[in-house]
Amino acid sequence: MTTQTSAHTVMQRCDILGGFSEEPDCLTRPFASRAMRQANEAVAGWMRAAGMTVQQDKLGNLIGRYEAHSIGTKTLLLGSHLDTVRNAGKYDGPLGVMVALACIERLHACQQRLPFAIEVLGFADEEGLRYQRAYLGSKAVTGTFDREMLGLIDAKGITMAEAIRAFGGDPDSLPSARWQPDELLGYCEVHIEQGPVLEALDLAVGVVSAIAGQNRISVCFTGEAGHTGTVPMALRRDALCAAAEFVLSVEALARSVPGLVATVGQMAVQPGVSNVIAAQVTLSLDVRHRDDTQREQACRQLEGRAHAIGLTRSVALNWQRLQGRRVVACAPQLSGLLAQAIQETAHPLHTLPSGAGHDAAILADLTEVAMLFVRCRGGISHHPAEAVSTEDVEVAITVLERFLHLLCEREGHP
Ligand code: GLV
Ligand code: MN
Ligand code: MN
């Protein structure tokens, strides 16, 4: 397989995976869905053809293993996620799995085994689309999966436990961590940047320094339904007006604090009728910052603001923190090897933080993590217009290959 063929193959495979969707007109591939099953089957086939043994774990993560040249050696983890957001692009997640697979294919093509095993992980859920909880896949791998989540229901009333079972998994025997930290060399994830920095610098790839922390919160305002024609404005307890005021407060705070990003991306209005005053509004709040203290402080401020709005409008507030992740620093040694790989393959080195969350942030609970970002067009992501170039994908494959070589040298096998 020539070098050029691999990057083209990665692009073709991202196209194929992009066709596995729960919605006919756009790409939406939630956790444990039919589309996810199709994706896992396709990737499993490519993994087997690349000399890997393949299994789907009890949660639905796809795991391909490429053995070392001798047994009893450590394992390096590579990969990313195979689920998507609603109306997604083709590369957020799958690109990292496909680039890792391309490296294995190159090793397999020349019958090369390394002094360590490699597992390529296709995580079953990173986005949290179906159950509003992110990182289900990587949490199962690290043994940090909170079993209480199994009782959550999706939009159709299906519990997470039922969804896992229907997908061929087993919620009753989700593993405690499969790995001991000393059995691993680390985890390296290739991912599109999802921002404009590399493009502005005219760089194909960059090394990630740290992954921003994030909180996800469910905010519910409960007022009182009423007739839109008869209830005077001064006597209303309009939940949607409270929510609207809160949304603008979120924006105002985020604009005033450097580095803070805060977003309301989802809102459900009850009863949702044009001639009925809104009785209840549930909205999502996503708050991120590179500094954990600032992120937590912003959340406290916003909770205070929501209470104040509720009080003024006689609307009740329910504030439920769904998840919080600290900032995760990428490991200096492993990231140093990625940096060296970039320089040795004649590309300028640039290091940048990630504002997006990644499976690597969870894997950091278990092992050293490093990430390689790939330039994406216009910095656009979580959008069908997401795009990468074949040339940049080629650079990513070459850098990851070089990284594997450097890791071999570090482990004492040139
Ligand atoms: C995942 O894409 C996230 O950052 O929310
Ligand atoms: Mn994403
Ligand atoms: Mn992603």
Tokens of 205: 């790839």
Structure tokens at 252: 């105002």
What pLDDT, on a 0 to 100 scale, did the predictor assign at position 177?
A: 73
User: Distance between CA atoms of 143 and 56, rounded to whole angstroms?
Assistant: 16
Report which ligand 1 atom has the smallest distance to the Cα of 355. 4
Q: Mutation test of ligand 1: which of 358, 371, 376, 381 has the most ligand atoms closer than 8 Å to its C-beta? A: 358
* Residues 73, 71: Cα–Cα separation, whole Å: 6
What is the model's pLDDT at position 5?
Answer: 62
The secondary structure element, H or E, covering residue 399 is helix 390-410
Q: Do the domains spanning 3-212+327-410 and 213-325 agree at the CATH topology level?
A: no
Distance CA(209)–CA(351), nearest Å, equals 6
CA of 82 relative to ligand 2 center, distance in Å? 10
Distance in Å, CA 294 to ligand 2 centroid = 23
Judged by DSSP in three states, 353 sits in strand
Ligand 3 mean position to 358 CA, how many Å?
6
Residue by residue, DSSP assigns 147-165 as GGGGG-B-TTS-BHHHHHH
> Which ligand is nearest the CA of 355, by number?
1
Residue 264 to residue 286: CA distance in whole angstroms: 6
Give the number of other Cβ atoms within 10 Å of residue 227's Cβ.
9
Q: Compute the residue count for the chain.
A: 414
The Cα 354–Cα 333 span in angstroms is 18
Distance from the CA of 277 to the center of ligand 1, in angstroms? 34
Residue closest by Cα to atom 1 of ligand 1: 357
- For residues 27, 126, 79 and 354, what is the CA-based torsion angle, rounded to 10 degrees? 100
3-state SS assignment for residue 387: coil
* Ligand 1 pocket: which of 284, 382, 383, 386 to mutate (most atoms within 8 A of CB): 382
Q: Is residue 45 left, alpha or beta, with left meaning phi > 0 and alpha meaning psi from -120 to 50? A: alpha
Ligand closest to Cα of 357 equals 1
Residues lying with their CB under 5 A of ligand 2, a single-atom ion: 92
Q: Which ligand is closest to the CA of 354, given by its number?
A: 1
Residue 148 vs residues 110, 163, 166, 241, 371: alpha-carbon distances, Å: 46, 15, 19, 33, 30
C-alpha 61/C-alpha 320 separation (Å) is 28
For residue 74, give every residue at least 6 positions away whose Cβ sits within 8 Å of its Cβ, in sequence order, or none.
Answer: 116, 117, 182, 183, 184, 185, 411
Cα separation, 66 vs 57, in Å, equals 16
213-325 CATH: 3.30.70.360
DSSP string, 290-322: SSHHHHHHHHHHHHHHHHHHHHHHT-EEEEEEE
Q: What residues in the chain have per-residue pLDDT under 70?
A: 1-5, 175, 413-414
Q: How many CB atoms lie within 10 A of CB 412?
A: 7
Ligand 1 surroundings by CB, under 6 angstroms? 127, 356-357
- Please state, in angstroms and rounded to a whole number, the distance separating the CA atoms of residues 108 and 168: 29
Closest Cα to atom 5, ligand 1: which residue? 357
pLDDT digits (tens, 9 = 90+) for 97-152: 999 999 999 999 999 999 999 999 999 999 999 999 999 999 999 999 999 999 99
User: Look-up: residue for tokens 């079972």?
Assistant: 165
What local confidence, expressed as pLDDT, does residue 70 receive? 85
384-402 burial string, b = 16+ CB within 10 Å, else e?
A: eebbbeeebbbbbbbbbbb
Distance, in Å, from the CA atom of 115 to the CA atom of 67, rounded to the nearest integer, reads: 9
What is the C-alpha separation between 45 and 16, in angstroms, rounded?
13
Strand partners, 372: 190, 207
Cα(55) to ligand 2 centroid in Å equals: 24
Question: Kind and range of the H or E element at 317?
Answer: strand 316-325
Q: Which atom of ligand 1 is nearest to the CA of 194?
A: 2
Atom of ligand 1 nearest to the CA of 356: 4
Q: Which residues contact 339 (CB under 8 A, 6 or more apart)?
A: 207, 349, 351
CA 387 to chain CA centroid, nearest Å: 17
pTM for the whole structure? 0.93
Q: How far is the CA of 138 from the centre of ligand 3 (A)?
A: 12
CATH superfamily, domain 3-212+327-410, is Zn peptidases (3.40.630.10)
Q: How many CB atoms lie within 10 A of CB 56?
A: 18
Q: How far is the CA of 11 from the centre of ligand 3 (A)?
A: 17
Domain boundaries, the chain: 3-212+327-410, 213-325
Q: 111 CA distance to ligand 2 centroid (A)? A: 35
Residue owning the nearest CA to atom 3 of ligand 1:
357
Query: Is the CB of residue 30 less than 8 Å from the CB of residue 36?
Result: yes
Determine the pLDDT at residue 178: 80
